[in-house]
Amino acid sequence: MSKYDVIVLGSGPGGYVAAIRASQLGLKTAIIEKESLGGVCLNWGCIPTKALLKSAQVFEYLKHAEDYGLKVKEPGYDFGAVVKRSRGIADGMSKGVQFLMKKNKIDVINGFGKLKTGKKIDVDGKEYSADHIIIATGTRSRELPALPQDGKKVIGYRAAMTLEKQPKKMIVVGSGAIGVEFAYFYNSMGTDVTIVEYLPNIVPVEDEDVSKQLERSFKKSGIKIMTSAEVTKVDTSGDGVKATVKTKKGEEVLEADVVLSAVGIKSNIENIGLEDVGIATDRDKILVNDYYQTNIPGYYAIGDITPGQALAHVASAEGILCVEKIAGQHVEALDYGNIPGCTYCSPEIASVGLTEKQAKEKGLDIKVGKFPFSASGKASASGAKDGFVKVIFDAKYGEWLGCHMIGAGVTDMIAEAVLGRKLETTGHEVLKTVHPHPTMSEAVMEAVADAYGEVIHL
């Protein structure tokens, strides 16, 4: 039996990062993966979807070339080549993780791992043991009873990335990050897209102003949106698919080539031995303390399978923190109230902290500022005037409670708010921090100025 200091089960952005940090700290480390290194994020999620979205964005630039004084013959595209580019980038990233494993002298064990008592893992009949076992098995697309996925007419995000033929009509059920990103991609490529959202607003976790702006932008692009609506059944017996949608006005039947189910995720915690070891779970999540220890000593869990936000950067941060605690370093628990969320449709969405509604529900006395990109010189020059930056501050102490952005490139801008909140900066300090001109980031300073009644360019 092979013996290690740390074994990581799963090689997504939580698992492989935890393994590398463990090796850096001098711990003999192995990682177990049943598919490709990098997990869903590198192979079927974060990275290949961004490649698809970039192709859509470039295609949109070409279609609007005349807006920039340029002449381009009628632009076309090869859908298969777009998909192939995305898969090639994913493969390259996975090979990059392979290189990192080799560089950091981490043993890669291919196969399906099952936890056993006594700090052991069985991988396809062979046993391995470690002083510390970190579970990082991630999630998959969740299926609803009314939306059983067949991989052809009712699909999840994996199939949506590798369709051989572009559908003429698509129904996207669910308007979280996955739903709106694919809605944007397929609409940009010419597919007739309808979004069906159960809640009153699309991207329902975002500030309501952001949700309304995205809905306006999407409708302007030709995407149909149905909110407060529910798909109650699908009929796949014909050439396409018929979806029965229940709304406040009654039932409506939508026809399409494909239905994309983007209704959330399901933890990969079945059949990995949790029950045999006695590891506690609740509502599809493994229960852990602030340092990701489960109720059974020597077993840890990180990433989407734990109750925190299901985001790649959260999983990575948890993996590093978990391993550093194992190594005896002094670590601070992760602040889940200061985690940025990003959605990469167009316009992009980025946010951190409290929404305006949440701040008011807490009874806080707040200052709210908002600066539209239509008033930004850089946004106008770039032809990207949709969206705004919205900031929320505590009126008494100036604490930065929340920041919500929608517009071009905002996923690269949100880190200013995350860092500012981490350093406990005040609205006055942000306002007096000189921002470069002309940039999209000026909108942050201007939004803060608006909150304090000092806005210049609005």
Binding site per annotation, positions for FAD: 50, 113, 304
Per CATH, the number for 347-451 is: 3.30.390.30
Structure-block tokens of residue 25: 């700290």
- Per-residue DSSP letters for 77-143? --HHHHHHHHHHHHHHHHHHHHHHHHHTTPEEEES-EEEETTTEEEETTEEEEEEEEEE---EEE--
Q: Biggest alpha carbon distance in the chain?
A: 69
pLDDT at 45: 83
Per annotation, catalytic residue among 64, 428, 437, 457: 437
pLDDT at 1: 66
Buried b (16+ CB within 10 A) or exposed e, 108-126: bbeeebbbbeebbbebeee
Write the pLDDT tens digit of every residue in 403-414.
Answer: 999 999 999 999
Matching fold, domains 154-263 and 347-451 = no
pLDDT at 457: 87
Half-sphere exposure of 239 (CA within 13 A, CB side): 3
Write the pLDDT tens digit of every residue in 45-82.
Answer: 889 999 999 999 999 999 999 999 999 999 999 999 99
Write the pLDDT tens digit of every residue in 111-123.
Answer: 999 999 999 999 9
Residue 366, H or E segment: strand 366-372
Instruction: Look over the chain and give the mean of its residue pLDDT values, rounded to a whole number.
Output: 95
- Whether residue 387 contacts residue 373, with contact meaning beta carbons closer than 8 Å, is answered with yes
User: 34 to each of 29, 109, 111, 136, how far by Cα in Å?
Assistant: 17, 8, 4, 12
C-alpha span between 145 and 415 (Å, rounded): 39
| Mean pLDDT in residue range 367-373 | 97
Structure-block tokens of residue 242: 């018929």
- Please enumerate in sequence order all residues whose Cβ is within 8 A of that of 434, keeping only pairs 6 or more positions apart, or say none: none
CB atoms within 10 A of CB 295: 14
- The distance of Cα 452 from the centroid of its chain, to the nearest Å, equals 32
The domains of the chain are located at 2-141+266-336, 154-263, 347-451
Write the pLDDT tens digit of every residue in 172-213.
Answer: 999 999 999 999 999 999 999 999 999 999 999 999 999 999
Q: Is 457 a catalytic residue?
A: no
Residue 85, pLDDT > 70, answer yes
H-assigned helices in 270-426: 274-277, 312-326, 356-361, 377-382, 415-422
| Mean pLDDT in residue range 220-244 | 95
C-alpha span between 93 and 152 (Å, rounded): 27
| Mean pLDDT in residue range 227-244 | 94
Binding site per annotation, positions for NAD(+): 174-181, 197, 264
Write the pLDDT tens digit of every residue in 12-25.
Answer: 999 999 999 999 99
Residue 401, H or E segment: strand 400-407
Beta strand 154-155 with 139-141 is unpaired
pLDDT at 152: 92
pLDDT at 44: 82
pLDDT at 59: 95
pLDDT at 5: 97
Query: What superfamily in CATH does domain 154-263 come from?
Result: FAD/NAD(P)-binding domain (3.50.50.60)
Binding site per annotation, positions: 50, 113, 174-181, 197, 264, 304
Q: Is the pTM of this model over 0.75?
A: yes
Per CATH, the number for 2-141+266-336 is: 3.50.50.60
C-alpha span between 299 and 291 (Å, rounded): 11
Q: What is the dihedral of CA 270, 274, 275, 276, to 10 degrees?
A: 120
Q: What are phi and psi of 131, to 5 degrees?
A: -70, -30
